[in-house]
Amino acid sequence: MKPLLSAEQIDEGVSRLAAEISVFYAGRPLTILGVLNGSIVLVADLIRRMDLPLRVGLVQVSSYRGPSPAPEPPQFDLSSTPDVQGRDVLLVDDIFDTGHTLSGLVERLRQAGPQSVRTAVLLRKHGRRAVSLVPDHVGFEIPNQFVVGYGLDYRDAYRNLPYVAVIEVDEG
């Protein structure tokens, strides 16, 4: 593994994100929905830096089902999320790669009648976007490489690393 972002850089980036989001919402109540599983570390660190009235929920998304490593259209489980009708909602995810997950989730959430839906990601990967959606808040721009750490995994490993690293993956 080759380190890409140190724990200190991530800490600074999360602080920047929290400040940017706090200024944007300027004391308005906010519902933060973290996209499981990768965003749990980011969500925990982010909300501790925000001085806003917050509600927090988690959304289960599955794009990889069965033995195939190829992603399928994402499926969303919103059954345990707080009511978002008439609320400002911020979707928080670990990485914006092709954008299919966040784009689909934004579309699905808009059906629930929120006042607004915006997005925040720790990482935005260059050259992979396949949707019109562009994240509203981005911690870091990264090259098109497979990364792990700070919530990101490879085969359910490495989520606990306090930094982000590039890893060579076995496609087989």
Active site residue 97: yes
The H-or-E segment that residue 141 falls in is strand 137-142
SS3 content of the chain, % helix, strand, coil (to 5): 20, 35, 45
| Rg of the chain in Å (alpha carbons) | 15
Q: Say what the pTM is.
A: 0.91
Cα–Cα distance for residue pair 125/146, rounded to 1 Å: 9
pLDDT value at residue 27: 83
For 65-97, write each residue's pLDDT tens digit: 555 555 567 777 777 788 999 999 999 999 999
pLDDT band with cut points at 50, 70 and 90 for residue 169: confident
For 90-143, write each residue's pLDDT tens digit: 999 999 999 999 999 999 999 999 999 999 999 999 988 889 999 999 999 999
Domains and CATH numbers, the chain: 8-142 (3.40.50.2020)
**Helices 40-47 & 7-25 angle (0-180, nearest 10):** 60
Peptide bond into 37 cis (omega under 30): yes
For 33-72, write each residue's pLDDT tens digit: 999 899 999 999 999 999 999 999 999 887 655 555 555 6
- Please pick, among 45, 93, 94, 97, the residue that the annotation labels catalytic: 97
DSSP 8-state secondary structure symbol assigned to residue 86: T
